[in-house]
Structure formats: structure tokens, C-alpha cells
């Protein structure tokens, strides 16, 4: 059986770590195991001098459909989401080296919000960014309620995070959510080449520049925690459970 997340080095540049979501039969929805694998890879990169940049990819035509709704339903029915999701969000927010993503196709929920923690995102023109948190009776996560209004202003943030409106790749670029739009054929090549260029830069200067641009992490971590408290409570509500069940029995 193939691994649902593949961690590898870019063949042409071993300083580029690639995290590839590889669960296409479930639209690359993230399970708790997948979060753990990704968290370990991000944390390992922080202390590995051989890694200078980490890249995220999904599979052809699908970045990620977000958190596995089966896992949400299990939590709604008395289980727990555990620490796996929150640990992944911390690892993203605290990553010490540049994060780059190449999005092709659907980027839903955390498939959208993880890009907020990336320094460069290149998306194919057929990509779509969508966060249906409220439709699932949930609330925004990953620090998105803090970062998205800063990036794109109150109204577009509300349209995305509360109204659940889909943003095309071009909408996302204009809103400042992503860096560039390209074709589906070009997205991986351009993303890897951007990552390789970053990996060739003086790492200490790049780190300082990145830290200055990203600003203090403490407030992002605090917002991740605040959102997570609401999120955990929402997961236990009847309206959330009904939304998860409706999805699972389609
Ligand atoms: N969690 C669990 N399974 C998911 C999933 C998710 N987030 N997204 C898709 N899947 C599964 C489907 O259940 C289906 O499984 P099955 O073949 O065993 O029935 C498979 O992936 C293919 O999805 P399907 O819905 O048939 O494909 P589609 O092209 O018609 O639609 C989506 C794709 C992504 C638009 C749709 O699956 C969807 O809306 N997913 C939920 C997205 C979401 O709300 N994520 C949570 C955000 S917080």
C-alpha cells in the first residue's frame, strides 16, 4: 500500500525536502497519521543542516480536501482529535526554514490555511481555495482568523472564512493569499525551481529576512490556541455532527 504522505528530497537539490500528500482516493484528506508524519518532517527539518526549504505538494488535480471528515465525526461522537492537528499547526507556525507550496486543484479547509504559513505558493490556474468551516458548524483554524484579514482585508476574509466562498487561483493571487498562478503542467516545476533558488541563498540572512517578514509567532500561536478551543467545543455540537454525518452518507 502506498504511503499517504511521502517525504523525500528533490532529486536535483537535496536541500529541498518535499512533503507530498498522497491519498488521492480520498482527495488527500488529512488523517491523524498524516499530520504526525508531516509534523515530524517539519520538526526534523529545523535541526537538519541538510534541509534548507520544505515544499508541499498534493497529487495531480488535488492539493487537499482538508481534514478527514471521518476523523471529525469520530471526535463528534465522543472520541478526540488528539494533539495531532494542533501539533501540525504549531510545526507550521514555528517552522524555522522557508515553506513553499505548489497547489494544483482543490485546496479545502486546511488545504487552504496551510498556505498561510508558506512563504511562497504557486498554484495552477485550475486551483480553488475554499474554507467551509462554518458550513460544517466549525470555526476557522490555523491562525487564519488573524492572518487572513491582515492579508486581504475584512470583507474578503469574511467571504472566505465565514461565508465559505470559493476563491479561484486568480482571486487568491489578487487577494495576496498566493504568489503566482501558472498552468497545471508547470506548477511542480516552477515550485521546485523557486524552492531550489531559496535553498541556494545564504541561509542565515534568509532566516533573518523571513523572521522579520513573518513577524512574531507568539500572537499566531495564541490565535491558533484560541481557535482550537472553539474548534474542539464546536466538534461536540449537534449541528457539527449533523454536518459530518450528511457528508459521510452522501
Ligand atoms: N474527509 C474524508 N473523506 C473525504 C474528504 C474529507 N475531507 N473529502 C473527500 N473525501 C472522500 C469522499 O468521501 C470520497 O470517498 P469515497 O470514494 O469512499 O466515497 C472520495 O474522497 C472522493 O470524494 P468525492 O466527494 O466523491 O469527490 P468529488 O470530486 O465529487 O468532490 C470534494 C471533491 C473535495 C469537493 C468533496 O469531496 C468535498 O466537499 N469534501 C469535503 C471537503 C471539506 O469540507 N473538508 C473539510 C474542510 S474543514
CB 119 within 8 A of CB 151: no
94 lines ligand 1 (CB under 6 A): no
Q: How many domains does the chain have?
A: 1
- One pLDDT digit (tens) per residue for the chain, 250 residues: 689 999 999 988 899 999 999 999 999 999 999 999 999 999 999 999 999 999 999 999 999 999 999 999 999 999 888 899 999 999 999 999 999 999 999 999 999 999 999 999 999 999 999 999 999 999 999 999 999 999 999 999 999 999 999 999 999 999 999 999 999 999 999 999 999 999 999 999 999 999 999 999 999 999 999 999 999 999 999 999 999 999 999 9
Q: Is 179 among the domain residues?
A: yes
* C-alpha of residue 132 to centroid of ligand 1, in Å: 12
Q: Give the pLDDT confidence score for residue 1 in this predicted structure.
A: 64
Q: Give the pLDDT confidence score for residue 12 in this predicted structure.
A: 87
Q: Is 83 among the domain residues?
A: yes
Q: Is 57 helix (H, G, I), strand (E, B) or coil?
A: strand
CATH of the domain at 106: 3.90.226.10
65 lines ligand 1 (CB under 6 A): yes
* C-alpha of residue 68 to centroid of ligand 1, in Å: 8
Q: Is 98 among the domain residues?
A: yes
Q: Give the pLDDT confidence score for residue 81 in this predicted structure.
A: 87
Tell me the residue range of the domain where 80 lies.
5-186+199-207+214-248
Q: Is 193 among the domain residues?
A: no
| Residue 13 Cα distances to 42, 199, 236, angstroms | 18, 8, 45
Q: Is 9 among the domain residues?
A: yes
Ligand 1 atom, smallest distance to 138 CA: 48
**What's the first-to-final CA gap in the chain, in angstroms?**
26
* C-alpha of residue 106 to centroid of ligand 1, in Å: 10
Residue 245 CA to residue 1 CA, distance in Å, equals 28
What residue's CA is closest to ligand 1, atom 35? 65
62 lines ligand 1 (CB under 6 A): no
The total number of residues shown for the chain amounts to 250
What residue's CA is closest to ligand 1, atom 6? 68
Q: Is 13 among the domain residues?
A: yes
Q: Is 191 among the domain residues?
A: no
* C-alpha of residue 205 to centroid of ligand 1, in Å: 42
Q: Is 151 helix (H, G, I), strand (E, B) or coil?
A: helix
Tell me the whole-structure pTM to 2 decimals.
0.98
Amino acid at each position: 500500500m502506498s504511503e499517504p504522505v511521502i517525504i523525500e528530497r528533490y532529486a536535483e537539490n537535496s536541500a529541498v525536502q518535499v512533503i507530498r500528500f498522497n491519498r488521492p482516493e480520498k482527495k488527500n484528506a488529512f488523517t491523524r497519521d498524516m499530520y504526525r508524519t508531516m509534523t515530524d518532517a517539519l520538526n526534523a527539518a529545523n535541526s537538519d543542516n541538510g534541509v534548507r526549504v520544505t515544499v508541499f505538494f498534493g497529487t495531480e488535480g488535488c492539493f487537499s480536501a482538508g481534514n478527514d471528515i471521518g476523523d471529525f465525526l469520530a471526535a463528534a461522537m465522543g472520541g478526540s482529535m488528539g494533539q495531532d492537528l494542533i501539533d501540525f499547526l504549531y510545526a507550521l507556525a514555528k517552522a524555522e526554514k522557508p515553506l513553499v507550496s505548489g497547489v494544483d486543484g482543490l485546496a479545502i479547509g486546511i488545504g487552504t490555511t496551510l498556505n498561510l504559513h508558506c512563504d511562497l505558493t504557486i498554484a495552477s490556474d485550475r486551483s480553488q481555495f475554499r474554507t467551509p468551516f462554518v458550513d460544517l458548524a466549525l470555526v476557522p483554524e490555523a491562525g487564519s482568523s488573524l492572518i487572513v484579514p491582515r492579508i486581504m482585508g475584512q470583507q474578503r476574509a469574511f467571504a472566505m472564512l465565514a461565508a465559505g466562498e470559493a476563491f479561484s487561483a486568480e482571486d487568491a493571487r489578487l487577494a495576496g493569499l498566493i504568489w503566482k498562478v501558472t498552468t497545471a503542467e508547470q506548477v511542480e516545476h516552477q515550485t521546485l525551481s523557486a524552492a531550489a533558488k531559496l535553498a541556494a541563498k545564504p541561509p542565515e540572512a534568509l532566516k533573518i529576512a523571513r523572521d522579520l517578514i513573518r513577524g512574531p509567532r507568539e500572537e499566531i500561536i495564541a490565535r491558533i490556541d484560541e481557535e482550537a478551543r472553539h474548534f474542539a467545543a464546536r466538534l461536540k455540537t449537534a449541528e457539527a455532527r449533523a454536518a459530518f454525518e450528511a457528508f459521510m452518507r452522501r
